[in-house]
């Protein structure tokens, strides 16, 4: 007798467990791949959070970086306070 439409037969859990046991190498490699991905994601999020905290706490609104017009790099230029006296 045919099953009614719309009802699907589920695969028993015992089949899934048996396949995990039979394919140990593939199972281990899959688990390691997932673990590596999760570890990398956590590491990157922690790094970004640490960098953001470091930049927020170390910044001072009174610090200014002065570059020449058209300059693309910060060469070591020391400006003495007497250069700003009028």
Question: Mean pLDDT over residues 58-77, rounded?
Answer: 70
The span from the CA of 77 to the CA of 68, in Å, is 10
The span from the CA of 38 to the CA of 45, in Å, is 11
What's the distance, CA 78 to chain centroid?
38
Q: Which two tokens stand for residue 48?
A: 């970004």
For 39-58, how does the pLDDT look when each residue is reduced to its tens digit (9 = 90+)? Answer: 999 999 999 999 888 877 76
- Identify the weakest region by mean pLDDT among 6-10, 36-40, 79-83: 79-83
């Amino acid at each position: 007798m045919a099953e009614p439409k719309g009802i699907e037969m589920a695969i028993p859990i015992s089949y899934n467990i048996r396949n995990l046991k039979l394919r140990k190498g593939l199972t281990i490699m899959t688990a390691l791949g997932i673990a590596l991905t999760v570890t990398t994601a956590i590491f990157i999020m922690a790094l970004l959070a640490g960098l953001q905290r470091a930049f927020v706490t170390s910044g001072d609104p009174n610090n200014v970086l002065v570059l020449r017009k058209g300059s693309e790099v910060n060469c070591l230029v020391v400006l003495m306070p007497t250069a700003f006296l009028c």
